[in-house]
Amino acid sequence: MKKTIIITGGAGFIGSHVVRLFVKKYPDYNIVNLDALTYAGNLENLKDIQDAPNYTFVKADIVDAERMDEIFKEYKPDGVIHLAAESHVDRSISDPLAFVRTNVIGTVNLLNSAKALWKDNYDGKLFYHVSTDEVYGTLGETGLFEETTPYDPNSPYSASKASSDHFVRAYGETYGMPYVITNCSNNYGSFQFPEKLIPLFINNIVNNKNLPVYGDGKYTRDWLYVVDHARAIDLVFHEGKLTDTYNIGGFNEWQNIDLIKVLCKIMDKKLGREEGSSAELITYVKDRPGHDLRYAIDANKINKELGWAPSVTFEEGLEKTIDWYLANEEWLESVTSGNYAKYYEEMYEGR
């Protein structure tokens, strides 16, 4: 069936994997990638599909309500997969308002434009919000986040994502907007901006720079290979229950320090360095304020209802990821030059 889908944030890390999957898998769909190209957005991420006949890129800021209305009127989407966001917790601590603008106001603008276009007939329409497990706050040593876990966000980033989730749900209740929300755990893989733990540490090891471990390094995250997240989004978009939410996770918990040691070991091998040399770069630094102790997802609902499960093991995914970064040093250099160098200095200086 012919469909037009607007994917927001398609030039970012996860968005570019979702755009690639949809463009390749659904030649009958028109895929419109709507992205403001902030520091985190990069059209290089989509070079391999940029000339596909079913792909269009539109540069626009979701905070601009009028522009969103124009774009929705022009492309008349049947569906929206909304990923555009400010996504880095540390940046949200320095500048919370930027997160309110994009993540809250931007999401409400998209909901309004979709409502204006669809309000007379919601049949076959879908607003899909891609969200995070951080909305649930933090776990203690045990337990898992379930779809019914109460929201309890701790950082400005997670508060803004929780707020946007609430707006999506409220538009469903109040205006009948057909929606679905997924809350996913930490992603890793190719094209991730090197401010996030795994690509940052790969880049620092390559350049023999310190590996800044926050606090005691005993924080736990549940890691998922980004291609598996994109597969889950495809499945939920096509088969998910309307007005429902699904948790997505890797069944793959790691304490930061253990993960970092594994990463160091693999990097020593790949770079032909003496075993233990990358680990010498580990430096314990001042903790992130409000640092959530542990995230871990119960992904049984999406597994049982839609048959989704991760397709690669962590060992395979990490190996592929490291190989990709080592083969794409130019990409790393281009995204880490300019403004990012300044950010790095400010974020880590004196920590």
**Any catalytic annotation for residue 133?**
yes
256 binds, among ligand DAU, ligand NAD, none (CB under 5 to 8 A by kind): ligand DAU
| CB of 319 closer than 8 Å to CB of 269 | no
Q: How far apart are CA 93 and CA 211, in angstroms?
A: 21
Contact region with ligand DAU (CB under 6 A), list: 69-77, 93-101, 193-201, 312-320: 193-201
| CB of 158 closer than 8 Å to CB of 132 | yes
Catalytic residue among 134, 195, 228, 298: 134
- Complex with ligand DAU: residue 113 or 186, whichever CB lies closer: 186
Contact region with ligand DAU (CB under 6 A), list: 50-58, 132-140, 170-178, 223-231: 132-140
Residue 186 engages ligand DAU in binding (rule: CB under 6 A): yes
11 binds, among ligand NAD, ligand DAU, none (CB under 5 to 8 A by kind): ligand NAD
Three-class DSSP labels, 111-171:
HHHHHHHHCCCCCCCEEEEEEEHHHHCCECCCCCECCCCCCCCCCHHHHHHHHHHHHHHHH
Q: Which of 262-271 are b and which e, b meaning 16 or more Cβ less than 10 Å from the residue's Cβ?
A: ebbebbbebe
Q: How far apart are CA 294 and CA 11, in angstroms?
A: 29
Q: Angle 265-266-267 (CA atoms, 0-180°, nearest 5)?
A: 90
Indicate the SS3 state at residue 247: strand
| Closest separation in Å from C-beta 43 to ligand NAD | 9
| Closest separation in Å from C-beta 134 to ligand DAU | 5
Residue 32 engages ligand DAU in binding (rule: CB under 6 A): no
- Complex with ligand DAU: residue 80 or 224, whichever CB lies closer: 224
By the criterion CB under 6 A, which residues form the site for ligand NAD? Answer: 9, 11-15, 35-38, 40-41, 61-63, 83-87, 102, 106, 130, 132, 161, 184, 186-187, 193
Q: How far apart are CA 291 and CA 185, in angstroms?
A: 15
Amino acid at 322: I
| Closest separation in Å from C-beta 234 to ligand NAD | 15
Indicate the SS3 state at residue 65: helix
- Complex with ligand NAD: residue 161 or 294, whichever CB lies closer: 161
Catalytic residue among 157, 219, 225, 325: 157
**Any catalytic annotation for residue 35?**
no
Structure tokens at 127: 């607003």
9 binds, among ligand NAD, ligand DAU, none (CB under 5 to 8 A by kind): ligand NAD
**Any catalytic annotation for residue 95?**
no
Indicate the SS3 state at residue 11: coil
Active site residues: 133-134, 157
Provide the binding-site residues for ligand DAU, judged by CB under 6 A.
Answer: 87-89, 132-134, 185-186, 196-197, 200, 212-214, 219, 221, 256, 288, 295
